[in-house]
Structure 1
Amino acid sequence: MAKIAYILLCHKDPDAIILQAERLTAAGDYMSIHFDARANSRHFQKIQQVLHDNPNVTFARKRIKCGWGEWSLVQASLNAIEAAVEAFPDATHFYMLSGDCMAIKTAEYAHEFLDENDKDFVESVDFFDSYWIKTGMREERLIYRHYFNERKHKKLFYASFNLQRKLGLTREIPADLQMMIGSQWWCLRRQTIEAILEFSRTRRDVMRFFRTTWIPDETFFQTLVRHLIPEEEIDSRTLTFLMFSDYGMPVSFYNDHYDLLLSQDFLFARKISPEAKELKIRLGRLYATRGVDFQISNEGRSLYKFLTGRGRIGRRFAMRFWETESSLGRERELMIVVCKKWHVAKRLLEQIRQVTNLPAIDYLFDEEATALPDLGGIQATLGKRTRHRRALMRMLFEYFDTDRLVVCMDPSNIELLNDFYSDRSKTRILEIECQFTDDYLIGHARRVGLAGERTSQATLERLLPTIRNDLTYEADRIRDAGFEKYGRIHQAADAETNGEKLAAFLSISSEKGLQIAATDHLYAD
């Protein structure tokens, strides 16, 4: 049975630290605490005094003054690890935590998970080939020596960096190491921890190198685990659920996130808001509970991306000059069918092909697998199709040797619609207005990754109004744009009414329009 020694780095809120230690050790696990030497000494004395008689708690023998981005964070971790290895000889795993982390699974679940997965869990990707670092220094973190804290001594930090760069004072990375990078919240097996401690004692050259790298807590353990442990024994992910905003700031969790957190495929979550009193109480009781059945749906990150993205609609980069200056052709007609239910639009297009013999293409800007002719590679990916949309459309007109072309688009593509309407060609839109049942919206949420098969009913019920409003908003944006030659057919309308709209859209007879509108099971889900 797995027994976990938690390595806790902390610097504030002694009452929360005491509670965290008591909760995690109550289930038989251990904790080794490093309390920042810069922090209030009375807080540390209170933690020691309250936890002194707890045999499952130990403290780093030497406390370090820690600074963000410095080696001090790694040294503090090593000090706490050494204390844990000595104090808890039967600990099988060592799990790095901060004071802002809380368990989102029971000890029973965590122990069974680790017993079934004999691996080291550490996010560890190639430093140079990955895009883990989004902005700021990359190789400069390693090849220059960093002696000052960037946040506390900014002028000295950059003066030292710029001087080294000007004089060419770079250094080599230790030849036998492949530099890796990843989250500092790892869970490592005992044999791995012991190998790292032994390596740190014998390879003084590597230790000297890391001591003056920038933000080594994202590279030290990540690199050494890959260096010392076979790849098949490493799972390159963290077991701590955390998310970041588009601005690089950690996302905080609040009282109403309890069900969402429990459904994620992680053991802990970070950061829990200080104001989330109820959430802390509920999660605090969870760890020692037995017999809890967790329904893992793992939709947290996709939900966050979806919901935060609602406030950014309408923003885009300026169009490239060749997009605005090129034209599909003054005499050409582009007919765009817009529908959120792709299967409905595809059925309609198939009937249009049969009745009118017009070339009609499904969701070419939304679906990678849409059948397209070979146009020299411009059709190969969605990214290329969107970037070179006018060139792509001209080539399709030429390929089919026609001046009339029908395509499908998702209602979310308002920028594409605006762009095609600004062209000198004749552009028409036909929107298919469908009815959306709750069952359909739930299926839609699962198809796009907003929910999983095990997402709770309560989560789905909270999500449904947002999805429904989002679909309404997309349709309203199209109508508010005031496009000329815009028509709309309704699922609830009769075939004769819809047939007239189709006839006007396609410039065909009323009889053919009715034939298309009367397609069997056109709106069936």
Structure 2
Amino acid sequence: MAKIAYILLCHKDPEAVVQQAEQLTAAGDYMAIHFDGRAAAEDYQLIRTELDGNPNVTFARKRIKCGWGEWSLVQATLHALQSALEDFPRATHFYMLSGDCMAVKTAEYAHRFLDEHDKDFIESFDFFESDWIKTGMKEDRLIYRHFFNERKHKQLFYWSHGLQKRLGLQRDIPADIQVQIGSQWWCLRRRTVEWILGFIRKRRDVMRFFRTTWIPDETFFQTLVRHLIPESEIDPRTLTFLMFTDYGMPVNFYNDHYDLLLSQDFLFARKISPEAKELKLRLGRLYAAQGVSFQISNEGRSLYRFLAQRGRSGRRFAPRFWETESSLGRQRELLVVICKKWHVAKRLLERIRQATSIPAVEYLFDEEDTALPDLGGIQAALMKRTRHRRALLRMLFEYYETDQLIICLDPAAIDLMNDFHSDRSSTRFLHIDCAFSDDYLAGHAQRTGLAGARTPQLTLERLLPTIRNDILHEGDRIRDAGYSRLYNLREGASAEENAGQLSGFLNLPRDKAMEIAASKSLFAD
């Protein structure tokens, strides 16, 4: 009879990790956990304390810091696989999971299914011939070396890529390897995993190649399984049900998706919304149940496509997350920097990026050419960004795989501030109070179209007091709005005073905030 060892890669929410492990091992299956090395030590300790008494749970011998698109995700998986092989000799299958996955069938059903289908379940399509990659980099993922993370070090990533292209530094793919691509959510037999681990010990050239490819979790296992296992023993599909929106983002499942999920021809589903408490409870109980029959209709994707094209009424399949009333997410923190002098705010964000790992986006609702990732078109125009502002921010949280995000707003955008402040997410504001000289205000008048290069000096002198009062009025509106967590950075304040405000805004230690506040030329024009 099949016995599954679940390979869980996770980086947050330790209580949910514990619950997931207990639910999936209750029916006699196993779990090997890799908890991201970037996560808080106390979170990892909580997981160890709660699960060390469970003989069906083990942990990766080595924790590493993981980053999206990096080799580190594959390495973390290999560490967990090695632990699972050593600690669970009775495990017949190894199933890749994330913290957002939950079983949509019983253990009884899953074991019977795997017993009846002696195959490896992994999406594996020819990298060059298939259309699996819809947008973005394709061949360049492989033939150039990628040393930097595109999300954390975007400029270095594209600088390195461009330099290699200009110098003609293409590399060859190992001659006997036919690169495949597909979803990272696979289920492999024990023999296959043993062969993969044996192969990587012998083929250092293949390991060197994949270590510097981009997004290797979509190619490494997919390629090696095809290389080692006969095609007749591979089912090129994932057993984890997942869908994507028109914007290219994973669909979240909510409480009223329970019957829909159970009727799909899959063993797990991803992503279960953090807010779907009832759905999580029902699915958690389901896995250990016995004698449950399932009517497989498998209409999930076509039904979702039908509803998405025609719009929804009410909450039959949960509201679109881009609707006005949708939330950024109760567990997320939005940090808003408010400043009339955009160059000052941008300079501050650069200092914050150097001192912290919090993703920061500049004036995305004010500047058309703000650097944004491809989010399926929603980022293309200011009007669309503003109209779907919560959708845009949710997608940025997803893109950067973070629960913290910094954005910049002009003080005039009081409506956006009020909207974000009313959200269920945690919102903090930092108002940067700058000094405005007449020369600066004159330049501001020209930049905003209130004056031109040939505007008479007398007209300009009459205009400047009005502009100055307007800026002061915007500041008063922000202070009068009653935001619960409003911090102020003042040009005339000491570095110590400003460090105290930054410490509260960024939730940083005082000495770290002091490094940012003491930066030279922060307020320079």
Whether TM-score is above 0.5 comes out as: yes
- Separation in 2 of the partners of 1:224 and 1:234? 12
Distance apart, 1:194 and its partner CA: 0.2
SS where residue 76 of structure 1 aligns?
helix
Cα deviation digits, residues 142-169 of structure 1 (max 9, x gap): 0000000000000000000000001110
Cα deviation digits, residues 318-337 of structure 1 (max 9, x gap): xxxxxxxxxxxxxxxxxxxx
Distance apart, 1:125 and its partner CA: 0.4
- Separation in 2 of the partners of 1:64 and 1:197? 19
Q: Which runs of 5+ in 1 are unaligned?
A: 313-525
- Separation in 2 of the partners of 1:29 and 1:259? 25
- Separation in 2 of the partners of 1:309 and 1:69? 31
What residue number does 2:121 align with? 121
What residue number does 1:267 align with? 267
- Separation in 2 of the partners of 1:27 and 1:13? 23
What residue number does 2:228 align with? 228
- Separation in 1 of the partners of 2:136 and 2:47? 37
Amino acid at match of 2:151: R
- Separation in 1 of the partners of 2:54 and 2:293? 30
Amino acid at match of 2:309: G
Cα deviation digits, residues 462-488 of structure 1 (max 9, x gap): xxxxxxxxxxxxxxxxxxxxxxxxxxx
Cα deviation digits, residues 87-140 of structure 1 (max 9, x gap): 000100000000000000000000000000000000000000000000000000
Distance apart, 1:245 and its partner CA: 1.0
Amino acid at match of 1:294: F
Q: How does 1:53-202 map to 2 (within 5 A)?
A: 53-202=53-202
Q: Which runs of 5+ in 2 are unaligned?
A: 313-525
- Separation in 2 of the partners of 1:166 and 1:247? 33
What residue number does 2:508 align with? none
Amino acid at match of 1:225: V
Cα deviation digits, residues 385-420 of structure 1 (max 9, x gap): xxxxxxxxxxxxxxxxxxxxxxxxxxxxxxxxxxxx
- Separation in 2 of the partners of 1:18 and 1:44? 10
SS where residue 193 of structure 1 aligns?
helix
- Separation in 1 of the partners of 2:248 and 2:97? 20
- Separation in 1 of the partners of 2:280 and 2:33? 20
SS where residue 294 of structure 2 aligns?
coil
Distance apart, 1:81 and its partner CA: 0.1
- Separation in 2 of the partners of 1:311 and 1:51? 44
SS where residue 94 of structure 1 aligns?
strand
What residue number does 1:23 align with? 23
Amino acid at match of 1:279: L
What residue number does 1:14 align with? 14
- Separation in 2 of the partners of 1:309 and 1:220? 35
What residue number does 1:239 align with? 239
- Separation in 1 of the partners of 2:241 and 2:42? 32
What residue number does 1:37 align with? 37
- Separation in 2 of the partners of 1:311 and 1:28? 43
- Separation in 2 of the partners of 1:36 and 1:288? 28
- Separation in 1 of the partners of 2:96 and 2:213? 21
What residue number does 1:301 align with? 301
SS where residue 58 of structure 1 aligns?
strand
- Larger-Rg structure: 1
Amino acid at match of 2:256: D
Normalised to the residue count of structure 2, the TM-score between the two structures is 0.59
1:217 and 2:217 matched:
yes
SS where residue 303 of structure 2 aligns?
helix
- Separation in 1 of the partners of 2:247 and 2:197? 36
- Separation in 2 of the partners of 1:103 and 1:6? 11
- Separation in 2 of the partners of 1:37 and 1:263? 37
Amino acid at match of 1:55: P
- Separation in 2 of the partners of 1:168 and 1:304? 45
SS where residue 296 of structure 1 aligns?
coil
Amino acid at match of 2:189: R
What residue number does 2:257 align with? 257
- Separation in 2 of the partners of 1:50 and 1:144? 44
Cα deviation digits, residues 6-65 of structure 1 (max 9, x gap): 000000000000000001101000000000000111100000000001000000000010
Cα deviation digits, residues 289-334 of structure 1 (max 9, x gap): 000000000000000111101149xxxxxxxxxxxxxxxxxxxxxx
- Separation in 2 of the partners of 1:176 and 1:81? 25
- Separation in 2 of the partners of 1:248 and 1:226? 27
- Separation in 2 of the partners of 1:262 and 1:169? 50
SS where residue 169 of structure 1 aligns?
coil
What residue number does 1:368 align with? none
- Separation in 2 of the partners of 1:88 and 1:52? 15
SS where residue 5 of structure 2 aligns?
strand
Normalised to the residue count of structure 1, the TM-score between the two structures is 0.59
SS where residue 163 of structure 2 aligns?
helix
What residue number does 1:388 align with? none
SS where residue 297 of structure 2 aligns?
coil
SS where residue 292 of structure 2 aligns?
coil
Amino acid at match of 2:223: T
1:276 and 2:262 matched:
no
SS where residue 5 of structure 1 aligns?
strand
- Separation in 1 of the partners of 2:123 and 2:50? 34
Amino acid at match of 1:47: I
SS where residue 43 of structure 1 aligns?
helix
Distance apart, 1:280 and its partner CA: 0.3
Distance apart, 1:247 and its partner CA: 1.5
What residue number does 1:327 align with? none
Amino acid at match of 1:273: S
RMSD of Structure 2 on Structure 1 (CA): 0.8
Distance apart, 1:223 and its partner CA: 0.3
Q: How does 1:46-57 map to 2 (within 5 A)?
A: 46-57=46-57
Amino acid at match of 1:112: R
Amino acid at match of 1:195: W
Amino acid at match of 1:218: E
Amino acid at match of 1:173: I
- Separation in 2 of the partners of 1:31 and 1:252? 24
SS where residue 223 of structure 2 aligns?
helix
Q: How does 1:332-481 map to 2 (within 5 A)?
A: none
SS where residue 148 of structure 1 aligns?
coil
SS where residue 42 of structure 1 aligns?
helix
- Separation in 2 of the partners of 1:307 and 1:78? 39
SS where residue 32 of structure 1 aligns?
strand
4+ runs of 1 displaced by more than 2 Å?
A: none
- Separation in 2 of the partners of 1:247 and 1:204? 39
